[in-house]
Chain A
Amino acid sequence: MNFWEYVGTRHQQLLTDTYQHASAVFQCMVIATLLGVLIGVVSYRSSWGGSLAITSTSAILTIPSLAAIGLLIPLVGLGVPPTVIILTLYGLLPVVRNCIVGLRGVDPSLVDAAKGIGMSRMRRLLKVELPLAWPPILTGIRVSTQMLMGIAAIAAYASGPGLGNEIFGGLASLGSANAINKVLAGTIGIVILALLFDAAYVLLGRLTIPRGIRV
């Protein structure tokens, strides 16, 4: 059976896996974004708070994802919980770092002006600082998503959802008839998903970055 025949016969399963892969990445990315921006907003003002946030998130990133997921299994069990935890944690770093850099990069004279015309702390953040820091934050989200696409494949190790099942299934049965096809289908599926997500981010940028600061 060649690759296309394999895809043809297994397309139902492949589509389900692809959908689950995308949905897992998407949902974890939403959580990571919210959490990451929150951490950024809380910590960007103090110099040690910011570096603490950046160092601790990058420390997480140095743990091999396979090891991390393995370590989580005894704590939270198999399936969805370790997947969500791993993806969210790994997704945090680029968002946190870009959020802090972006917020710190806002022209101080604009913050001064915002204060000077009587904006409260909250309003300043929502109306001035976050909109101006949004392009770098969005870049962070984009980088995170690319990374999570790959890491999500590891989740299959903990019986998680997604295209990783194809890859792990294939790798486990190397030498059998469809082993290579399985690995290929999983990998190509992830690449296509990553490209689609990236295109979506370009569109999102077009829609959400105000015209006045678009480059």
Chain B
Amino acid sequence: MSETATGSTEPAPPRPSSTSGATIQLEDLSKSYPGSPSPAVDGVSMDIKAGETVILVGPSGCGKSTTLKMINRLIEPTSGRIRINDEDVTDMDPVKLRRKIGYAIQSSGLFPHMTVAENIALVPKMTGWSKSGVKDRVEEMLDLVGLDPREFHGRYPRQLSGGQQQRVGVARALAADPPVLLMDEPFGAVDPITRDHLQDELIRLQHELHKTIVFVTHDFDEAIKLGDRIAVLRERSHIAQFDTPEAILTNPTDDFVSGFVGAGAALKRLNLTRVRDVGIADFPTVTVEDPLQSIFNKLRDGQHNELLMLDRRNRPYKWLRRGDLMRAKGSLARAGQLVHDTVTRDATLHDALEAVLTDSGGRVAVTGRRGEFIGVVDMHTLMNSVQELLEADRLAAMEHRHDLEELRVHRTEQELEGGGSGL
């Protein structure tokens, strides 16, 4: 995904104590339970790159959760090896191993008898951080997940909303700065709007932290939104396809995968690209502090039909059309139309399209982290970039198919040769 590419060009955020991701290799990992004839997980092999977000997605009961739990050995594999950063951890002390792997689960798993701060401090304390170090870290983590430390520090989990609990859950998982983060349907129990926010938040976090994330979900849209690569699993955790979201959407390997992708692949494609990747256009602006006369002049000199008025903190406030001021008899307070929707640079094209469609002028203002104005995206830009995207996908898919065929031919040749020498 283009995420990683843009990530490297931007200056690294000033977060001194941040370990980025580790590689994970699963080698022929199986789990069978005594008394059941077929294994729950049957020979999964997977190579996960450092700093990558991999989503395990599949129908319920396909063993995706079991696979995830074998990585931190909450479930001991029956056979196979697990390597993290090329270190074999299959026989390591599981308690030590788990302290180096963040773990976030559905319904947050926060301990109700501990405050938010105590919950977050657990792992750093266990790994022997100094008292002041732990304290600072708790503040830092709360800040990171977008909760005000002063307000939430001493609260108990039951005094938080579902979304806030989940944020604290992620903060706890990341507190000891583990290179790997395992997430087991973490957003499964919150309402759709909150889930959307949490997903955006996770994308932002990952943009800053570059952890290796393995994320289990049964929601394919969530998988597309979050994943650098997606592993679509069928029963017994057999990998049906393990590829980028783009490739899975445009080129599903079989009926199982395309059935799972569901209808509307082109629309889903919109979830894969972010506003930052398309052209954000400039737009003439004025601020509320500008004198009325200069706003008048700007509108009247004829270059622009419309202006965007920003408030004191540079946030989009009002769309001002030519004539609006006249109609409102020169009163700025009454003129124009309030900006009711903005998107961030991390918003998906899907969100942007939604905003553009509901806006009467067919455009939406793009804002930065603190809500400050950056630019505008309109219908035209969206259409163009979507067409380009789809075209690029088609080319990539064709190339991919070509490569596969070549590989297959190559393999058959080898097999034939091998068979020949065996005779």
CB nearest neighbor in A for B182 = A116
Which A residues from 106 to 131 make CB contacts under 8 A with B? 109-110, 112-120, 123, 127-128, 131
A115 and B156 in contact, given A109-B105, A109-B107, A212-B115 (Cβ under 8 angstroms): no
Q: Are the C-beta atoms of B98 and A116 separated by less than 8 Å?
A: yes
**Interface size of B in residues (CB-CB distance below 8 Å):** 29
Is B156 within 8 A of A211, CB to CB? yes
A184-215, CB < 8 A from B: 210-213
CB-nearest residue of chain A to B72? A116
Tell me whether A39 is interfacial, beta carbon within 8 Å. Answer: no
Give Cα A150–Cα B72 distance, bound, in whole angstroms. 53
- Asked if residues A212 and B114 are in contact (CB atoms below 8 Å), the reply is yes
Q: Which residues of B from 333 to 383 have beta carbons under 8 Å from A?
A: none
**4 smallest beta-carbon distances between A and B, as pairs:** A113-B109, A212-B156, A118-B99, A116-B103
Given contacts A211-B156, A212-B156, A212-B157, contact A117 B123 (CB under 8 A): yes
Query: Which of B114, B123, B172, B173 has the largest number of chain A CB atoms within 10 A?
Result: B114
Q: Assess whether A117 is in contact with B74, with CB atoms less than 8 Å apart.
A: no
- Can you spell out 30 A-B residue pairs with CB atoms less than 8 angstroms apart? A109-B105, A109-B107, A110-B111, A110-B112, A113-B109, A113-B110, A113-B111, A114-B111, A116-B72, A116-B74, A116-B103, A116-B109, A116-B182, A117-B99, A117-B103, A117-B123, A117-B173, A118-B97, A118-B98, A118-B99, A118-B101, A120-B95, A123-B126, A131-B113, A132-B113, A210-B114, A211-B156, A212-B114, A212-B115, A212-B158
Cβ-closest chain B residue relative to A211: B156
A128 near B111: Cβ-Cβ < 8 Å:
yes
Which residues 196-215 in B have Cβ within 8 Å of A in the complex?
Answer: none
The 0/1 profile, CB within 8 Å of A marked 1, for residues 214-258 of chain B is 000000000000000000000000000000000000000000000
For this complex, into which size category does the number of interface residues on chain A fall?
Answer: 20 to 34
Q: Is the interface of A mostly helix, strand, loop or mixed?
A: helix
B106 at the interface (CB under 8 A from A): yes
Task: Say yes or no for B96: interface residue by CB 8 A criterion.
Answer: yes
Q: Which of B107, B109, B123, B126 has the most CB of A within 10 A?
A: B109
For the A-B complex with A113-B111, A212-B113 known, give 6 more contacts whose Cβ atoms are closer than 8 Å. Answer: A109-B106, A117-B173, A118-B95, A132-B112, A212-B112, A213-B112
Asked if B48 CB lies within 8 Å of chain A CBs, one says: no
Query: Does B50 count as interface, using CB distance less than 8 angstroms?
Result: no
Q: How far is the CA of A110 from the CA of B108 in the complex (A)?
A: 9
Min CB distance A139 to B, Å, is: 16
Is B396 close to A, CB under 8 A?
no
